[in-house]
Every structure is written in C-alpha cells, then in structure tokens.
Amino acid sequence: MPSYQESQILEVSRHFQIYGELQHAEPCKIGHINETYIATYDQGGVPVRYIHQKINTDVFKDPDGVMDNLMRVTTHQRNKVADSGVGEAGRRVLTVIPSKDGQSYYRADGGACWRTFVFIERVRTFETVESPTQAFEAGRAFGEFQSLLVDLPGDRLIETIPFFHHTRGRFATLERAIEADRMNRSKEAAQEIELALRQEPIVDVIVKAMAKKKIPERITHNDTKFNNVMLDLQSGKAMCVIDLDTVMPGCVLYDFGDMVRTTTSPTLEDELNLALIHMRMPIFKALVRGYIETAGQFLTKNERSLIAFAGKLITYTIGIRFLTDHLSGDTYFRVHRQNHNLHRARAQFKLMESIEHQEEAMQRFADSL
C-alpha cells in the first residue's frame, strides 16, 4: 500500500469512535465504485479489524441520503434479527461506527466522505457461484433482506441514484452516447450497439407494469451481485448482505434478475472467452428455491410471473450500462484494462442470449414452487 495512502487512512482513522492504535491498512480491490480499506487496530493487544470506505460522491451525489437510508435499514434489520432469536446480529447486519462528532460518516476538509464499518469476521465472499448450495444461500439471503424491510416504518427512502434500474432511461442514455460518440469508440463496438438497439421491445415491460401498479414498489437492494453476500466460513450459510448504497425504493424483480445475472454463469462478468458464458439451469433452480423460501410470503402473482424474464432484462440492462460507459469514456465503472467496459458488455449480452434460450423452462420451474 503506497505511503501516501497509509498516511491518508491514518488521518481518517482519527475521526471515528475506534479504540486503539491503527497498525495496518490495505486496499480492498473488490467493487467498481467506492474506495475501500481493511484496517487493523491494536485494542489492548488484540487485533481488531474495521472497514474504512471513501464514498464515491461522483456517483453518490447525496452522501447524507445514502447514509440516512443505510442507518434506517440496518437499524430496522438489526432489531428484527434480534427479536427473531436467531442470534449473531452483529454478523448478520452491517454495523456503522460513528464519527467522533456522532455522525454516520466523516467529511474531510477537502470534501471527501468517509465511513467506517465493523469488519465481519469468519466469513468470505465469492466472485462466482461454485455450487447449487451457494446459489440457494444467495437467493435466500437477498429474499430475507427484502422481507426484513417490507415493514420499514417512516417516510419513503431516498433514491440515492434516481431511475437506477429504469431500463427505458438506460436505453435513452445509450442512444445519446451512441450519437455523441465522444471517444470515437462506436465503430469498434458496432456489433454490440446493433444487438443492444435490437432489444428495445423488452425495455418497458417492468417499467410499465409498475407505472400501472400491477407490480408494487418495494425497498430493494439494487446491486444483488453474489459477492455482496457474505458466507460463513464453517457452515457455508449466508450471514450478511453488504454494499447498501443503492438500497432504495425499487422492484424486487430487478433484484432477482441481478441474482440470475451474477450467479448462473460460471464466469466473471468481464470474461473474455464468450464460449464459456452460459446460464446454468441447476444453479438457477437452486437460486429461485432459496429466494422463494424467504421472499415467497410477500411476492405477488404478477411478480412471480416475471421471474425468468427479470433475469434476461437486468442482464441486458447492465450490459447497456457497460456499453454506455465504454462509449462515454469509462466515467462510472472502474476499469482495469483497455476496453474493459466493452468486454463486460459483451459478456452480459452473451449471458442474456443464453437466458433467452432457456427462459420458458426457467419460468415453468419458478411457477412450480
């Protein structure tokens, strides 16, 4: 870790209610958006770890809103977990460490916004699903996450990124990026652009259903990648859902669709070898069984009827977001190689096609549960 970063983390650490001396900090490379560090403190001779995270305010322009949502959600979840008698609420729900002035985050003089979480021990995350059992746990975890928030009291949560999964809006943004072509990249992405535009007939299905109140608005996670579920090292059971910046009003189908996107393919979302990318039906079946086990009590008939379609739609939506960012100069998603967002888009479109080929069978299985 470069020395300038160590000094930066040391300065940040002084502003939070943490006992002990900072011994070490290292960057966590997982995640596209925020800057994250794992910090170890000496607390009376015992090493204790925390997460220091710099909120990307270019993406999350209202950090007060982000943290207000996060605090309301985690407080409600923790109370419900404690009341249920399941135990280990501290490992099942994120714990925010307040700043020394009692706030949920610290704003530095230069405007940088930092927050701190308790590091959850004896868990790990996976970039890809390795077994149907893991897929079941992912589905169960996100279904439980949604279920715990069905009765969240108070005002409507703040939309931290308005129209986040609004596919028509994403499609319109792609069209503008194609027309502007500010980085002169449309020629090399011509095949992906043609495929994306050809899918326009599907973009309004869920948007219109919500507008007509056929599908209800709920509190949703909105970033249900498999690596946002922490699994217990010993039992393999899902413990905690993390990365809550996009928790806000939304549609449960978008959440489930992103689970399909990030669990059913055997590859990472930026796989270069497209021949390896396909939707694995055994993984999908385990995923939907886990999800229905915890979310089935509140899902409506209309929500259930679009389970398989949601997987196709959200995979397409993420694909056009990657393509848009590539055409716009990689301003949203962090990239680690040339044409990284284009590679991501290609992978998403290949998975979308695989889902489409199996969509009817997927829905028949979901209907049988």
pLDDT at residue 122 tops 60: yes
Q: How much is the pLDDT for 85?
A: 86
Quick check: is 127 in a domain?
A: no
One domain for residues 143 and 92: no
DSSP lists the bridge partners of residue 40 as 24, 49
Q: DSSP string covering 2-58, please?
A: -HHHHHHHHHHHTTB---SEEEEEEEE---SSSEEEEEEEEETTEEEEEEEEEE-TT
Final residue belonging to a domain, choices 119, 154, 187 = 119
**127-141, pLDDT tens digit by residue?**
889 999 999 999 999
Quick check: is 250 in a domain?
A: yes
**Cα 207 from Cα 215, distance rounded (Å):** 9
Quick check: is 37 in a domain?
A: yes
Q: How confident is the model at residue 3 (pLDDT cuts 50, 70, 90)?
A: very low
Supply the pTM of this predicted model: 0.91
Collect all residues with Cβ–Cβ distance below 8 Å to 171 and sequence separation of at least 6. 200, 203, 320
Q: How much is the pLDDT for 178?
A: 98
One domain for residues 216 and 324: yes
One domain for residues 330 and 278: yes
Token output for 191: 């095949």
pLDDT at residue 2 tops 50: no
Contact 251, 164 (CB under 8 A): no
One domain for residues 251 and 198: yes
Backbone angles phi, psi at 14, to 5 degrees: -70, -10
Return the ∠ at Cα 30 (arms to 342 and 56), rounded to 5°. 80
Q: How much is the pLDDT for 4?
A: 43
Quick check: is 190 in a domain?
A: yes
CATH of the domain at 58: 3.30.200.20
**Which range has the worst mean pLDDT, 112-121, 183-192, 206-215, 328-337?**
328-337
Give the dihedral sign, CA 239/226/204/329: positive
Final residue belonging to a domain, choices 53, 88, 119 = 119
CATH of the domain at 343: 3.90.1200.10
Q: Tally the domains of the chain.
A: 2
Backbone angles phi, psi at 248, to 5 degrees: -170, 180
258-284 per-residue burial string, b: 16 or more CB within 10 A, e: under 16: bbbbbbbbebebbbeeeeebbbbeebb
One domain for residues 65 and 145: no
One domain for residues 258 and 363: yes
One domain for residues 114 and 156: no
DSSP lists the bridge partners of residue 55 as 113
Quick check: is 228 in a domain?
A: yes
Final residue belonging to a domain, choices 87, 119, 151 = 119
One domain for residues 294 and 190: yes
Token output for 227: 């690596």
Q: What is the arithmetic mean of pLDDT over 175-192? A: 97
Quick check: is 300 in a domain?
A: yes
Return the ∠ at Cα 164 (arms to 139 and 94), rounded to 5°. 50
